[in-house]
Chains A and B, each alone.
Chain A
Amino acid sequence: MSSLNTESHIEPAPLQLGTLEQCTLVDLTELPRVGFRGQQSAEYLQARGFTLPDAPNRAVTQADGSHVARLSQTEYLILGSLQDRGERIADEQARWELDHSANYLLPREDSHAWLQLSGVCIAEVMAKLCGVDLRCAAFPPGAVAQTSAARINVIVINLGSKGQAAFQILFDRASLEYFKDAVLDAMAEFDGQVLEIEALQ
Chain B
Amino acid sequence: MSRLPAPMGLLIDRNQPLDFSFDGKPYQGLAGDSIASALLANGRFLLSRSFKYHRPRGPLTMAGQDANTLVQLQSEPNVLADSHLLESGVQVTGQNFNGSLDNDNDAYLGKFSKFMPVGFYYRSFYKPKGAWKLWEPIIRKKAGLGVLDLKFQPEYYDKAYLFADLAVIGAGPAGLQAALTAANAGAKVLLIEQQPVLGGSLTYARFDLEGNRAQTLRRELVDAVEGHANIRVLKKATCNAWFTDNYLPVIQNKRMYKVRATQCLIASGSFDQPVIFRNNDLPGVMLTSAAQRLMKLYAVKPGKRAVVLTGNDDGYLAALDLHDQGVEVAALVDMRNNPADRALLLALERRGIVCHLGSTVFEALHEKGMRHVSGADIRKITGLGQVASSGLVLDCDLLCMSGGYMPVYQLLCQAGGKLAYDDQLAEFTLSGLPKNLTVAGSAHGYHALDNVLADAIHAAAEIVVALNLELTSKPLATRPEAQVNFPWPIFPHPKGKDFVDFDEDLQVRDIINATKIGYRDIQLVKRYSTVGMGPSQGRHSALPTARLVAACTQRGISETGVTTARPPFEAEKLAHVAGRAFDPYRQTPMHKRHMDAGAKMMPAGIWQRPAYYGKASERDACMQAEALHVRNKVGIIDVSTLGGLDVRGPDAAELLNRLYTFAFLKQPIGRSRYALMTNEHGVVIDDGVCARFGENHFYVTATTSGVDRIYQQMLKWNAQWRLNVDIANVTAAISAVNVAGPDSRKVLEKVCQDLDLSAEGFPYLGVRQGTVAGIKTRLLRVGFVGELGYEIHVPARHALKLWDALMQAGQAFDIRPFGVEAQRLLRLEKGHVIISQDTDGMTHPAEIDMGWAVSRTKPFFVGRRSVDILEAQPQKRKLVGFTLPRVSPRPLEGHLVLSGADISGNVTSCEYSQSLDKIIGLAYAAFDQSQPGQQIPIRVEDGVIVHATVVKLPFFDPENQRQEH
Contact = CB atoms under 8 A, between A and B. Distances in A.
Interface in B563-587: 580, 582-587
Contacts of A133: 161, 163, 260
Interface of A: 37-38, 98, 100, 102, 104, 106-112, 124, 127-131, 133, 135, 137-138, 150-152, 172-179, 182, 185
Contacts of B730: 107, 110-111
A41 to B, nearest CB: 10
B161 A127 contact: yes
A72 B728 CA distance: 14
Contacts of B733: 107-108, 110-111, 173
User: 5 nearest interchain CB pairs?
Assistant: A111-B733, A110-B733, A174-B586, A104-B726, A127-B161
B694 interface: yes
Given A102-B724, A133-B260, A173 B584 contact: no
B958 to A, nearest CB: 38
The interface centre, meaning the residue of B587, B730, B733 with most chain A CB atoms within 10 A of its CB, is B733
A127 B163 contact: yes
Contact of B588 (A100, A104, A174, A178): A174
A175 B586 contact: yes
B584 A175 contact: yes
B649 interface: yes
Interface in B688-729: 694, 696-697, 724, 726, 728-729
B161 A130 contact: yes
A131, A174, A176: residue with the most chain B Cβ atoms closer than 10 Å? A174
> Which of A38, A124, A130, A173 has the most chain B CB atoms closer than 10 A to its own CB?
A173
Contacts of A98: 648, 694, 696-697
**Is the contact region of chain A dominated by helix, strand, or loop, or is it mixed?**
mixed
B734 interface: yes
Interface string B643-682: 0001011100000000000000000000000000000000
A100 B696 CA distance: 8
B732 A151 contact: no
A150 B161 contact: no
Contacts of B582: 129, 150-151, 182
A129 B160 CA distance: 7
Contact of A138 (B160, B163, B587, B724): B163
28 contacts: A38-B726, A100-B650, A100-B696, A104-B726, A107-B734, A107-B795, A108-B733, A109-B797, A111-B730, A111-B733, A112-B732, A124-B160, A127-B161, A127-B162, A128-B158, A128-B161, A128-B580, A131-B161, A131-B258, A131-B260, A151-B583, A151-B584, A173-B732, A174-B796, A175-B584, A176-B587, A182-B582, A185-B580
B586 A178 contact: yes
A134 to B, nearest CB: 9
Given A107-B730, A173-B733, 5 more contacts: A37-B728, A106-B728, A111-B733, A174-B588, A177-B591
B705 to A, nearest CB: 14
B526 interface: no
A172 B728 contact: no
Contacts of A151: 582-584
A185 B161 CA distance: 15
B781 interface: no
A104 B584 CA distance: 29
Nearest to A29: B797
Nearest to B694: A98
A104 B649 CA distance: 9
Contact of B584 (A100, A102, A124, A178): A178
B886 to A, nearest CB: 40
A174 B607 contact: yes
Contacts of A104: 646, 648-649, 726, 728
A137 B188 CA distance: 11
Interface in B630-647: 640, 646
Nearest to A175: B586
Contacts of B649: 102, 104
A67 B584 CA distance: 28
A185 B580 CA distance: 10
Contacts of B188: 137
Nearest to B735: A110
A109 B798 CA distance: 11
A110 B732 contact: yes
Q: Which of B162, B585, B732, B796 has the most CB of A within 10 A?
A: B732
Given A107-B730, A174-B586, A178-B586, A135 B163 contact: yes
Contacts of A108: 733
B159 interface: yes
A104 B724 CA distance: 12
A102 B652 CA distance: 12
B167 to A, nearest CB: 13
A37 B158 CA distance: 38
A154 B591 CA distance: 22
A127 B580 contact: no
B260 A174 contact: no
Contacts of A179: 584
Given A98-B648, A106-B728, A182-B582, A173 B796 contact: yes
Interface string B227-263: 0000000000000000000000000000000101000
